[in-house]
């Protein structure tokens, strides 16, 4: 598994990326005139976005290329909130070697003004037609399902978010704590017995209350 963003230069004469067909990689979707923003940097000139069964690849008209494996995309979302970002886009969070074991700041991706791809943790893809966002997001989801995290120990909800809300507070759920105290279908025998006894006691109390009330009425 390759973590992080990396440069991509294996481009054919027609501008299409050369895929690793021997490993079963296939082209899924192509979006022309798509813009790209890496980390805090400004938008790059429009290029072509290629989604494959393994990677996200973007190639500019001038031959500049970047790629990230789907296994390293920890979250992807549709964003249409102008307060979160000026343009409708697909927002992604990227797992890197530097961020895999500790928190990483977006500003850490730059050193002396130079962008370090290995430390870029955010990427935005801005299609030329915002109306294609939903279809592009669906393609992301389908490709992500083909590339599950090999280190995952349990089935968890993937980090997919779909909506118009901002994404500053989005996480992939890694810090969420769950409680397994007596889940449905796994209640202990003692708890069941205690619940039945308590229910019987309460029922007896209701019966006694009804008898007292009837006695009081008849006495009047």
**Domain ranges, ordered by start, for the chain:** 6-161, 181-220
pTM greater than 0.75 (yes/no): no
Lowest mean pLDDT segment, chosen from 14-18, 66-70, 178-182, 213-217: 178-182
Mean pLDDT along residues 40-63? 94
Pick the CATH number of 6-161 from 3.40.50.720, 1.20.120.420, 2.30.29.30, 3.30.230.70: 2.30.29.30
| Cα distance between residue 32 and residue 46, in whole Å | 8
Starting at the edge strand that comes first in sequence, how are the strands of the sheet with 65-69 ordered? Answer: 6-7, 65-69, 55-60, 47-52, 27-38, 122-126, 89-94, 73-79, 160-161
Indicate if the pLDDT at residue 17 is higher than 80: yes
| Cα distance between residue 152 and residue 37, in whole Å | 29
């Amino acid at each position: 598994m390759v973590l992080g963003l990396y440069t991509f230069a294996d481009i054919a004469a027609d501008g299409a990326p050369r895929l690793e067909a021997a490993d079963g990689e296939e082209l899924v979707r192509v979006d022309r005139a798509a813009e790209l923003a890496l980390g805090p940097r400004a938008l790059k000139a429009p290029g072509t976005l290629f989604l494959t069964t393994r990677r996200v690849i973007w190639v500019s008209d001038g031959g500049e290329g970047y790629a990230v494996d789907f296994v390293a995309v920890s979250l992807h979302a549709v964003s249409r909130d102008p307060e979160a970002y000026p343009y409708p886009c697909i927002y992604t969070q990227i797992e890197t070697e530097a961020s895999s074991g500790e928190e990483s700041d977006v500003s850490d991706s730059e050193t002396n003004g130079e962008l370090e791809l290995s430390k870029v943790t955010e990427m935005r893809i801005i299609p030329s037609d915002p109306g294609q966002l939903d279809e592009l997001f669906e393609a992301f989801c389908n490709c992500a399902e083909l590339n599950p995290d090999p280190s995952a120990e349990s089935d968890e909800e993937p980090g997919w978010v779909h909506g118009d809300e901002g994404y500053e507070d989005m996480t992939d759920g890694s810090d969420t704590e769950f409680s397994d105290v007596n889940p449905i279908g796994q209640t202990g025998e003692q708890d069941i017995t205690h619940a039945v006894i308590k229910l019987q006691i309460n029922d007896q109390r209701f019966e006694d209350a009804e008898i007292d009330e009837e006695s009081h009425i008849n006495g009047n």
